Chains A and B, each alone.
Chain A
Amino acid sequence: MAGTVKYMSPEWRDEAEKRLKSELTPEKMKHITTSMCCIYQNCPDGKQRYYFVKTENGSLVEVSIGDQEPPKAEFILTADYETFAKLTRGELSGRAALMGRKLTLNGNLIKALKLSTVADRMNKVLSAIPTEY
């Protein structure tokens, strides 16, 4: 990859998928089967976007972004674009965002907490993508 990619652009999605697949083995992903959809509100262009990931037995099977109706997911996380940007840059932890009411979770909280380490690992991979926010 040369240079930077724009956050939440198709290029960013491609890079995210490539890195997640290569850096996170099913073991590191705890062999989980789940899906998560992040709803980005108040994006810079005023739109709402989603970022969707789906895993099966720890293998990434889908990474998608869009500004249409978001897909159904086991966990839905909703926040402002800026909050997600801070999360991806590693400037804000998921726990702090949730407990500070900057991020809302829809889904089974107990399961979500069990999967929080996996989410942190995924976020760490994303944070290494040279990105223009």
Chain B
Amino acid sequence: MNTMLNQTNKTTDPYFIDFPKRIKSIQEMMQGRGIDVYLGSRLRTISWTVDVFCPWRSYIVIPKKGLPTVFTFLIDATRIGHDSWLDEEHVLGYGPVGGQDQITILSNKILEYLNKGKGKVGIESGMSNYLPEGNLTHYEYDKLAEALPDVELVNAHDIVDELSMIKDKGTMNRFREASRIVDIGHQVVYEAINGGGWKGMTETEIAGLAAYAMRKAGSEFEWSFTAGNEIASGYRTGLAQGACTPASRKKLKAGEPLMVDLHAMFKLGLGDHTHNYLLSPATERQKWHAQNFVALVKLVLKAYGPGATPSSLADKMLEFAEDHDFIEFVVPGCEHGIGMMGDEWRIGMNDGPFEYWTNPDHVYQAGEMVICAMQYACPEENIGFRYENPIIITDRGCEPLSKFPLRIEEI
């Protein structure tokens, strides 16, 4: 039985995504390039096409016509078959069994779609700063080339990159719901730490409190590979150029800043919002830093819209910081890419001056999503702040999905 955990298959479902249409759109682009079979291996591709979180190495084989087949580690194949829109005939397990190892099973499936073993197969190759990206490894490439001697393997990940750039309604709604859940996590953290409740607490405890609240609200995963919810206090908030703070066992202390960066997942849509506090008593200097940061975030949020570029946004941000005498504390950059689970960091297509990094001149269009992500750090004073919020580029600006109030309060 296929209950399709993420799919109700009704167009009235606000989270509905037309996955067969996504496959057809890939097939149309394959046809345009003379690609006979597309072999996807990146986590972002698997999420975008299968609609299930696949934590084990997985592949999708997409023929020129018809349904794709997913291959995943045997121990998880039944679950994926159960939760996906694909039937069990199109979700197969691989394992250390004769004829069922990754290379044999993939090459056999690919050969089914080729004429006399000849043709062009699109693969996903490249590099990423994101560890679970999932590009085809050198070993996999060599072994597939060996198993498919008359096949031309061509890099084709840009097909999925291009198609997944503009988000559809169902995707946006999944992100909206994930953000609503993150806001519940923030509210629970606020209530727990307010009024001196923070005393004796550790960063890991706050991460757990938020995780529990978000799970109760339906979150499937504190999805970030940066150890889930990122909590930092004191000097850890102000690490130079730092924007990654897995929660530690550090106890919260009076007079220190506190950074609460929460992550939730809803049907592979991702919530990611950071809220900052000053643990009383806060100094005037700390409050000055806080005001700077909030003003900067407001400025940047106003600047998003069609036609803006990462460069133009960074210029505005740095100009403002320079004018207000705090440029030395600003980490230059205000966003990272986002898509369904596994699609993180790079924005837009791979067409910038540094391969596999965001093109600073990428021009935003309505329907794109990014995480507005800003970091302020003053290591000398052991203080820093972070802002993260998924935003949808709209016709006239942007829609920040987390609605938790933007402020840095002293508690």
- Which residues of A pack against B, CB within 8 Å? 78-79, 97-106, 108-110, 113
Given A108-B89, A110-B78, are A98 and B98 also a contact pair (CB < 8 Å)?
Answer: yes
List 6 additional A-B contacts (Cβ < 8 Å) besides A78-B99, A109-B95.
A98-B97, A99-B98, A105-B100, A109-B93, A109-B105, A110-B77
Q: Are B100 and A109 in contact (CB under 8 A)?
A: yes
How far, in whole Å, are A106 and B109 apart by their CA atoms in the complex?
A: 10
Cβ-neighbour of B74 out of A78, A101, A109 (below 8 A): A109
Contacts of A103 in B (CB 8 A): 98
Contacts of B78 in A (CB 8 A): 110
Q: Are B99 and A104 in contact (CB under 8 A)?
A: yes
Contacts of A109 in B (CB 8 A): 74, 77, 92-95, 97, 100, 105
Contacts of B105 in A (CB 8 A): 109
Given A106-B108, A110-B77, A110-B78, are A101 and B89 also a contact pair (CB < 8 Å)?
Answer: no
17 A-B residue pairings within 8 Å (CB atoms):
A97-B98, A98-B97, A98-B100, A99-B96, A100-B98, A101-B98, A102-B98, A104-B98, A104-B99, A105-B100, A108-B89, A109-B74, A109-B95, A109-B100, A109-B105, A110-B81, A110-B88
Contacts of B96 in A (CB 8 A): 99
Secondary structure dominating the interface of A: mixed
How far, in whole Å, are A110 and B100 apart by their CA atoms in the complex?
A: 10
Q: Which residue of A lies closest to B98 (CB)?
A: A104
Contacts of B88 in A (CB 8 A): 108, 110
Q: How far is the CB of A35 from chain B (nearest CB, A)?
A: 15
**Which are the 7 A-B pairs with shortest beta-carbon distances?**
A104-B99, A104-B98, A98-B97, A105-B99, A109-B100, A101-B98, A109-B93
Q: How far is the CB of B171 from chain A (nearest CB, A)?
A: 30
Contacts of A102 in B (CB 8 A): 98
How far, in whole Å, are A22 and B181 apart by their CA atoms in the complex?
A: 61
How far, in whole Å, are A101 and B98 apart by their CA atoms in the complex?
A: 4
- Which residues of B pack against A, CB within 8 Å? 74, 77-78, 81, 88-89, 92-100, 104-105, 108
Q: Which residue of B lies closest to A102 (CB)?
A: B98
Q: How far is the CB of B80 from chain A (nearest CB, A)?
A: 11
Q: Which residue of A lies closest to B78 (CB)?
A: A110
Cβ-neighbour of B93 out of A79, A106, A110 (below 8 A): A110
Q: How far is the CB of B174 from chain A (nearest CB, A)?
A: 29
Given A110-B92, A110-B93, are A105 and B77 also a contact pair (CB < 8 Å)?
Answer: no
Q: How far is the CB of B77 from chain A (nearest CB, A)?
A: 6
Contacts of B95 in A (CB 8 A): 109
Contacts of A104 in B (CB 8 A): 98-100, 104
Contacts of B89 in A (CB 8 A): 108
How far, in whole Å, are A105 and B97 apart by their CA atoms in the complex?
A: 8
Q: How far is the CB of A93 from chain B (nearest CB, A)?
A: 13
How far, in whole Å, are A24 and B293 apart by their CA atoms in the complex?
A: 76
How far, in whole Å, are A109 and B72 apart by their CA atoms in the complex?
A: 11
Q: Which residue of B lies closest to A108 (CB)?
A: B92
Contacts of B108 in A (CB 8 A): 106
How far, in whole Å, are A47 and B61 apart by their CA atoms in the complex?
A: 35
Contacts of A110 in B (CB 8 A): 74, 77-78, 81, 88, 92-93
How far, in whole Å, are A110 and B82 apart by their CA atoms in the complex?
A: 13
Residue from B93, B99, B104 having most chain A Cβ neighbours under 10 A: B99
Q: How far is the CB of B255 from chain A (nearest CB, A)?
A: 58
Q: How far is the CB of A2 from chain B (nearest CB, A)?
A: 37
Q: Which residue of A lies closest to B101 (CB)?
A: A101
Q: How far is the CB of A3 from chain B (nearest CB, A)?
A: 35
Contacts of A113 in B (CB 8 A): 74
Q: How far is the CB of A114 from chain B (nearest CB, A)?
A: 10
Q: Which residue of B lies closest to A113 (CB)?
A: B74
Contacts of B97 in A (CB 8 A): 98-99, 105, 109
Q: Which residue of A lies closest to B104 (CB)?
A: A104
Q: How far is the CB of A14 from chain B (nearest CB, A)?
A: 30
How far, in whole Å, are A86 and B78 apart by their CA atoms in the complex?
A: 32
Contacts of B93 in A (CB 8 A): 109-110
Q: Are A106 and B99 in contact (CB under 8 A)?
A: yes
How far, in whole Å, are A105 and B104 apart by their CA atoms in the complex?
A: 10
How far, in whole Å, are A104 and B100 apart by their CA atoms in the complex?
A: 7
How far, in whole Å, are A102 and B98 apart by their CA atoms in the complex?
A: 7
How far, in whole Å, are A27 and B346 apart by their CA atoms in the complex?
A: 56
How far, in whole Å, are A26 and B67 apart by their CA atoms in the complex?
A: 34
